[in-house]
Every structure is written in structure tokens, then in C-alpha cells.
Amino acid sequence: MSEQKYSIVLRDCRLLGAGDRETVDIAIEDDTIAAVSPRISGLGDREIDIKGKLVCPPFVESHIHLDSALTAGEPRWNQSGTLFEGIQIWGQRKQGLTLNDVKKRAIETLRLQASQGILFVRSHADVSEPTLTALQGLLEVREEVKDWMTLQVVAFPQDGIYGSPGNDKLLDKSLDMGADAVGGIPHYELTREDGVKSVHRIFELAEKYNKLIDIHCDEIDDEQSRFLEVVAACAIRSGAGSRVTASHTTAFGSYNNAYAFKLMGILQKSGINFIANPLINITLQGRADSYPKRRGVTRVKELWQHGLNVSLGHDCVQDPWYSLGTGNMLDVAHMAVHVCQMTGMAEIAACFNMVTVNGAKTLYLGDDNYGIDAGKPANLIVLDAEDCYDAIRNMSCKPFLARVSLIKKFRNCIQ
């Protein structure tokens, strides 16, 4: 009886959490993981010796703004380094947006990310302009990159739903056009009442169009900004918790502990997801503080300790809010380890999960579409590291393999 033949067999692979245990072989056939076993006897048309390096699912970029990426310094630099000056600068820059402008910068950024092992991305698109140029551009990019990148697009009313006439209708139209999720920014609305109203409107639209929810929530140093409790309450009442994400929630880090303790129980009941953006949060927040300066990041460690799903994002790559950015999720995880004080071995592993499996849960990818198990799509990367501690410590992301259908031409796709 002849041995089983496969398209590709990866030999001597170390999986996440394997530690010193025996390595495995991974067989791939027709872009699907056919087998994962300590020793696969069948041969592959292509045999690759991984030499004990770490093999993991692709990185997940949970939160980025591709429509504003690569615009740092246009039309001017953010001198104060604040969120609000960034919004003002973007308000000027977006007046000159064109479809080609948005698409070119978005694809360039996605290529940068793909070259570093990111194959799943959620991007917010500003839908506060009547032309909806940013949204249309990213929807077209979503289609153009689908062979080598899974892109979700969030309809994000940067100027608030009720901050300008017509924004509510623009948000509704954006979802009808095909955005994957509905966003919001309640702390930027004109009044607290408008902010609460905006959260309820977001849930109404999500139900109307059967969309995911990802809200910029309490991205401010004001300890009185408490829209997170409104989001959690709406999630509990609607039963939509696993489809709901609260991004940033930086004010949570400034809440008094008595209120934070009460809120944590509500958050656990809601089952919503959280996204922290440590590179940006530690940069933008605390600008009005003297000393001591707050770290400006949400309570990542505490949320993780209480069993809530937390993932991490870049948020910005060379734009009015953040002039730096490499597209490497290990940079993000490395910053989280430090700013969130998650330096224990289990905590470092948790930060790695926040840019992989937790991100997949946030994006609602489904268990069948993510992970290294027989029967799942052959989306995986090989890192120049033996474990997640080594990967984060060195921040060296040189993925050997991505979507297998592109194994030969992948480099051309990302150059």
C-alpha cells in the first residue's frame, strides 16, 4: 500500500504552548491542514524542515485605521501629541481624499502587515464625510486583497453620530453599502446624553443589518466618561455580547477601584470583547497630566484575569495620531508586556494570544477558520523563535509561510 501524499509537509514544528514537548509534523493538502501528528509517514511534494521553530496561526490586527495610514505630516504634524489635535488634522487631510489615495495607502499598509505575518485585519473607515470616500475605498480594497488578506471594514463616524447633521444617515448608508461592522465614538458626541443615545443607535443598526459592533469607547483621560457601562448593558439586553467590541476604554484605567470592581462584574456578564492599543494609548493619553503621569491604557491585565477576551491593535501607522508604526504585531505585544506590567511567563503568553487567537475571537472568525488543527484552512506562519516568550523578547517577525495557496507568489503580493 502506497504512502499518503500531500502537497506540503512541514517537519519538526513547535506549536504554541508545547514547551519542551515533542515537535510535530503538519501536512497540507488543497490549502487545508490535512494532519497534525508527531510523525507523519506520508511525503509531501514539498518537504520543509522547520527545525523546531514556532509555528502559529497568523497574527490578527484587531484595530487599525487604514484610511488615515501613511499620512503623518499631512497637512501638518501633531505638535501637542493629543487625540484631539489628531482629529483636527485628519479633519483637514480628509477633505482632499480620493479613492485612489485611500486605496494606495491602504494596500501599501496591508502589504507591510502581510510581510510580517498578519493575515486578518479589522480597519475602521471614517464615514463622517458625505462622499464616503474612505469607506468606498476600503470596501474596494477588501475585494482586491481577498486572496492574501482577510479585511473587515468598520463604519466609523469619526465626528460622532449626532455631532454633525446627516451623520446618522451616513452611518446607515455605510452599512447598506456593505461595511462589516458598525462603530461609534460616544465620548466625542456633544453631550453625555448624545453619547448614550449613540450607543443605543449603534445596537439598533447592528440588529437591522446583522452586523458586528466595534465602538471607540471612553478613549479619554476623563474618569467621568462611563459609556462602557452603557455598551455592556446594551450587550446584556440584546444578547449580542460576543459580537460586540469596546475599543480603547482608556478611561477605565482612571476609574476609582470601587466603581471598577462593580463594572467588572457587569462586563463579565456581558461577554463583550476588548481591544487595547498600547502603542497609541500610552502616547496620546496623559498629555494633560503633570506628575505622576497615567499610563493611559485600559485595565488589560485585570480584564484578562477576569476571563474577558482582550486583543491588541496598532490603531495607527504613520498618521496624525502616531507618526511611527512598523506593522509588526510583536511590537504591539512587546509594548503591552511593559505598559500593562504583564511580565510573568503566563502573562507574556497571554499577550501573544492577544495578537493571535484572541484577535480571531474579536473578529468573530469562528473556530473552523482559525487555528492549527486538521480540517482548518492552512493559514499559518513560522517565526524565528522557539516559543512566544522568545518571539516577543526579540520582536523579530520573519514569517516563513502564509496562506499556502500563495506560498510561491506570496513575496510578489507583498512587495
Over range 144-150, report the average pLDDT.
94
For residue 409, what pLDDT band results from cuts at 50, 70 and 90? very low
What is the structure's pLDDT at 21? 73
- Total length of the chain: 415
Over range 169-193, report the average pLDDT.
99
pLDDT digits (tens, 9 = 90+) for 31-61: 899 999 999 999 999 999 999 999 999 999 9
What is the structure's pLDDT at 22? 84
β-strands 54-56, 310-312 pairing: unpaired
Question: What is the distance in angstroms between the CA of the first residue and the CA of the last residue of the chain?
Answer: 44
Over range 236-255, report the average pLDDT.
99
- Helices 329-339, 345-353: inter-axial angle, 10-degree rounding: 140
β-strands 181-184, 5-15 pairing: unpaired
Closest CA to 203 of 226, 179, 234, 249: 234
DSSP state of 163: S
pLDDT digits (tens, 9 = 90+) for 181-190: 999 999 999 9
- Please, are residues 270 and 237 in contact by the beta-carbon 8 Å criterion? no
Average model confidence (pLDDT) across the chain? 94
**Residue in this structure with the C-alpha cell 502564509, named with its chain if needed:** 402
What are the cell numbers at 324? 511611527
* Superfamily designation of domain 5-57+371-414: Urease, subunit C, domain 1 (2.30.40.10)
Calculate what percentage of the chain has a pLDDT beyond 90. 90
What is the structure's pLDDT at 30? 87
Closest CA to 319 of 89, 63, 79, 110: 89
Cα radius of gyration (the chain): 21
Question: For residue 226, what is the enclosing H or E element?
Answer: none
- CA neighbours closer than 13 Å in the CB half-sphere of residue 95: 7
Catalytic residue numbers, as ranges = 219
Over range 123-130, report the average pLDDT.
98
Q: What is the pTM of this model?
A: 0.95
Q: For the chain, give every domain's residue range.
A: 5-57+371-414, 59-368
For residue 3, what pLDDT band results from cuts at 50, 70 and 90? confident
Distance CA 91, CA 158 (A): 9
What is the structure's pLDDT at 334? 98
pLDDT digits (tens, 9 = 90+) for 264-305: 999 999 999 999 999 999 999 999 999 999 999 999 999 999
Fold of 59-368: TIM Barrel (3.20.20)
Residue 415 has pLDDT above 70, yes or no: no
pLDDT digits (tens, 9 = 90+) for 369-385: 999 999 999 999 999 99
